[in-house]
Each structure stands twice: as C-alpha cells, then as structure tokens.
Amino acid sequence: MPRPGPVNPSPRPAAGAVLLLVATRKGAWLLHGDAARRRWRLDGPHFHGHSISHLVLDPRDGRTLLAAAKTGHLGPTIFRSTDLGRTWKEASRPPAFAQPTDGSPARSVDHTFWLAPCHTNQPGSWYAGTSPQGLFRSDDGGDTWQPLPGVNDNMTLREWMGTVQDGTPDGPKLHSIVIDPADPAHLLFGMSGGGVHESFDRGATWQTLIGGLEVVEGFDVTQPTFHDPHCIRACPSRSTRLYMQNHCGIYRLDRPSQVWQRIGRKMPRKVGDIGFPMVVHPRDADTAWVFPMDGSDVWPRTSPDGRPAAYVTRNAGRSWQRLDAGLPAEQAWWTVKRQALCADQRNPVGLYLGHTGGEIWMLRDDGGATPPQSWRNIARHLPEIYALETAIPAAD
Amino acid sequence: MRVLVPSALRSYTGAMWVELDLPALPPATVGAVLDALDARFPGIRFRMVDERGLLRPHMRCFVGGRAVHDLSRPMASGEELHIVQALSGG
C-alpha cells in the first residue's frame, strides 16, 4: 500500500542569477538571466538542427547537464556536459530496448522524452522516459543506460501502452517520472496513453494509480489503456501532494489517498481544464499553475479562442485566477507543451513559458497582489520550444 | 574498404571518406563494415541502426549503386559502402 511521505521543510528561496534550459525542435539554448531577472542572454544553439526533447541540469551537483537528442535522420542519443555546455560528450550507451527472447514484438527507442534525476541520496543516477514508452536508468551520470525490465518487459504494462499507432501524434510518451524524496525506491510515472503507475521497489513491480481520473466519454474508466495523463508534479514542500494535468481535467492527489480529485471543475467553463503543462510552487503546496489548451473536437491544442493565459490556484484547486496581463489579447495561436512551463525558486517566484512559436515569456508571480504583474517577453525567434527548465548551476 | 559518410555523421568521423582495414576472412558484410566504423568512431552505428538491427528510417546504404537493406549482404574486395541520409523533414 502507498505510504505517506513526510511534510518537507520548505526550501529557502534561491538568490542570484537564473538559468533557463531551452530544448527546441532545432537545438538547445541556455538563457542566462541576471539576479534581477531583467536582462537575459542567449547562449546557443547547441546541437543546431537536432531535436532536443529535454535539457536538464542535475540539481544534486549543479554541473551535469543532460540533453536528449535526435535528428530527423539519426537515431536518439544523450549528450552530457559538465561545463554548462562549453563541451559535450555523447553517452557511450544511450537508452535502447533489450531485445525480447520470448517472441514478443521487438521495439526501438525513437527518442528519449523525459530526463529525471533520481533521489538526492543517489548522486549520478538518472531515469529516462522514452517514446515509445520505456523506462531506463543510468547510475553513472548519464553515460550508460539500462532498460528497466519491470516496465519495458512487463506485458501487462505493454498492453496498456498499446503500440505506436495508439500514441500521440509524435509518438507515445513515458513522462513525469516523479521520485519520492522520502523514499528513493518509491517512484511513479505517467504514460500517454496508458495511465499512472507507481513502484515501491525501485521499479521492479508496479501498481496503477488511476482512481478518480476520468476518461473520454464512452470508454471504460477501469482500463489504464484509456487514461491519458499529460503532466504530473509532486510538491517540493509536501511530497504527499501531487497535481496532474490530464487529457480529461486537472487533478490533485493527497496521499495516502489513491483517489484523484478533479480540481479543474472550478476553472471557467468557457476555458475548461484541458492542457498539457502542470507546475507547482517550490514552497507552497497550495499553489500551482496550468496553461489551458483547446481540447475541443479535433484537439487544436492552442490557447482557447487564441487568447493565451496561465491560471493559478492558491488554495489547492478550490479557485483559479487568470494570469494573462501582458500576453497577446487575441489571435495568438501558439501551444505550450507539457514540459514548456516552469517556475524558478526565487521569491517572488518567476513563472516561464516557452511556446511553439519560439518565444519565452516570464511572469513574476506576486502571490495574488492586485493588479497582478505582467508577462514579459524575454526571448523570441527561437525554433518550436519543446521544453523549458530552470536550473541553479554550482558556483565555480 | 572505403566508406562515404553523410554530413549528419561527420561530427563522428570528421571526414567525408573513411578508410577501414578489415580482415580478409571472414568476408566482410555491410554490417561488419558498420561495426568496424563504430569501433573507430564509438556511437556512430546506433545513430544509423536501431537496437533491432534495422536501418533507421531515412538512413540508406548503397553498394555498387544499389540500395542495401540487408546488413548481411557481403562486401566484395574493392567495393565501397555509401551511407546516405534520405531527404526528409522540414
């Protein structure tokens, strides 16, 4: 049975410069901000022409930077840097599926989609989620990756994953790898599609975590196959609290409960509670942000009515506030992907979005003051943005 | 054995042409040439051939002007392997 984790002491706000890691369809950039978050400097492109799905700095050492890369022609790989991108070295064994010996269909990794550092007490260890869905682990700082048979060779999970045919337009994803800070052996992930699954034995065995989640009308809610989590985040200040943006709404889960509560019902009806990214506050477990997308008929995945806006809850989902000051008021049809909304650890928190039109916008979230701060454009003319992460490099 | 390397893979080889020394026996195959290429330039093979042993989409190999899909195809003495990236994407 799931165990409740402790309420964590709230981490202190970070100070100093802010670093944004920008992964795009045509390369990676590092966006350096000054301490005031006023002036920004782009460093890049790194891997010009490569599709970079995710770029993550190891928060445990502040030095190891991993990039999940592929190009239109070449297979997927992982690049590593320990000097903030001045030099890169390719993983000597990138994620690759073990070949089956039982006659089950062989699979090939198309791209690594999600990179997640393991527990704080496991320096150098990482997880990677791939498309098609697979889970991999590295224990040497991302140089060599081993497939986790508890997921990749689990025929029940494989059935729920379906095939590439069942996935999202650019391939089914294993994403949102969340490690319990109270228990290194406890982790969970989401599959689009295929539901949410958690393990208490470092990934050897898995159980589903889909209670309370809804599915598209007419489908069987008890079947993980029909569940489509988009992004799951655990609160740093309260690891027992999870938020999720799902294909069918916004949810919160407070452990040890196993039943997600749909908190998106309180979103404005005209906007709805469909979207991809989910961001939690670094110090306040009642505060979280979403960026709604149009999920009507053919799923345009653009801002509803072409009017982009984030929404914030400051009371764990009982109400939501629209945050659109400074963003285009109309005719803005870009998309914010599930990894392209993030928050820094400063006070006040900086919220950052990257969109498919290649712009990055920042909002100093003032915690509900009236009038709220305005979004400000801090980078433009980049390729389609896949992922955005904040990072705190180690001091030299 | 000469191998023509496409631009997308020259970050590994640093050159358009690579000359490989392969033993006369057993007779070389296309797959053996790719293995030898990977031994000299680690990681290059996985960018072309997936974990199932299949050429990735958009990667093509030609020997004697003919497309090769079977990596067990023998390479005769003096033949060149041309690796080509198919035009694709946007």
Q: Would you call B13 exposed, middle or buried from its count of C-beta atoms within 10 A (0-12, 13-18, 19+)? A: middle
Separation in Å, CA of A263 to nearest CA in chain B: 40
As a whole number of angstroms, the distance between CA A70 and CA A249 comes to 32
CA distance A276 to A248: 11
pLDDT of residue A5: 43
Query: Computed from CA positions of residues A255, A250, A199, A338, in that sequence, does the dihedral angle turn out positive or negative?
Result: negative
- Cβ–Cβ below 8 Å for B50 and A72: no
Query: Is residue B90, in this structure, part of any structural domain at all?
Result: no
**The domain that contains B74 carries what CATH number?**
3.10.20.30
Tell whether B46 is within 8 A of chain A (Cβ). yes
Q: Does A78 touch chain B (CB under 8 A)?
A: no
Tens of pLDDT, residues B56-70: 988 999 999 899 999
Count of beta carbons in the 10 Å neighbourhood of residue A395: 6
What's chain B's Rg over C-alpha atoms?
12
| Residue B24 in domain | yes
Nearest CB to B88 within list A72, A90, A91: A72
The whole-number average pLDDT for the span B43-62 is 94
Per-residue pLDDT tens over the stretch B4-20: 999 999 999 999 999 99
Q: Which residues of B touch A96 (CB under 8 A)?
A: 46, 50-51
pTM value? 0.93
Type of residue at A379: A
* Confidence class for position B90, pLDDT limits 50, 70, 90: low
Q: Residue A38 has what pLDDT?
A: 95
Query: Is residue A298 less than 8 Å (CB to CB) from chain B?
Result: no
**In the numeric block, which tokens belong to residue A225?**
């196959």
Whether B67 maps to a domain, the answer reads yes
Cα of A4 vs its chain's centroid, Å: 23
pLDDT (0 to 100) of residue B88: 58
Radius of gyration of chain A (CA): 20
Cβ-based contacts of A73 with chain B (< 8 Å): 6, 8, 56, 58-59, 85-86, 88-89
Residue B13 in 3-state DSSP?
A: helix
Tell me how many degrees the CA angle A160-A155-A250 measures, rounded to the nearest 5: 25
pLDDT mean by block of 10 residues, chain A; 396 residues? 46 86 98 96 96 97 96 92 96 96 89 97 97 97 97 94 76 96 96 95 97 94 95 96 97 97 96 96 97 88 94 98 96 96 96 98 89 92 98 87
Name every residue whose Cβ is closer than 8 Å to that of residue A394 and which is 6 or more positions away in sequence.
Answer: A61, A62, A63
Q: Is residue B31 part of a domain?
A: yes
Q: Do A92 and B88 touch (CB under 8 A)?
A: no
Between CA A46 and CA A204 the distance in angstroms is 36
Residue B56 lies in a domain: yes
Cα dihedral sign for B62, A170, A339, A322?
positive
CA atoms within 13 A on the CB side of B5: 25
How far is A77 from A90, CA to CA, in rounded Å? 7
Cβ under 8 Å to A: B residues 59-78: 59
CATH node for A18-99+106-391: 2.130.10.10
Q: What is the pLDDT at residue B77?
A: 86
- B58–A73 CB contact, under 8 Å: yes
Q: How confident is the prediction for chain B on average, in pLDDT?
A: 91
Counting the structural domains of chain B, the total is 1
Domain extent for B65:
2-85
Instruction: List the 318-377 stretch of A: residues with Cβ below 8 A of B.
Output: none
End-to-end C-alpha distance for chain B, whole angstroms: 34
C-alpha distances out from residue A361 to A20, A178, A233, A342, Å:
11, 26, 21, 11
Picking from B51, B56, B59 by the largest number of A CB atoms within 10 A of its own CB, the best residue to mutate is B51
pLDDT of residue B81: 96
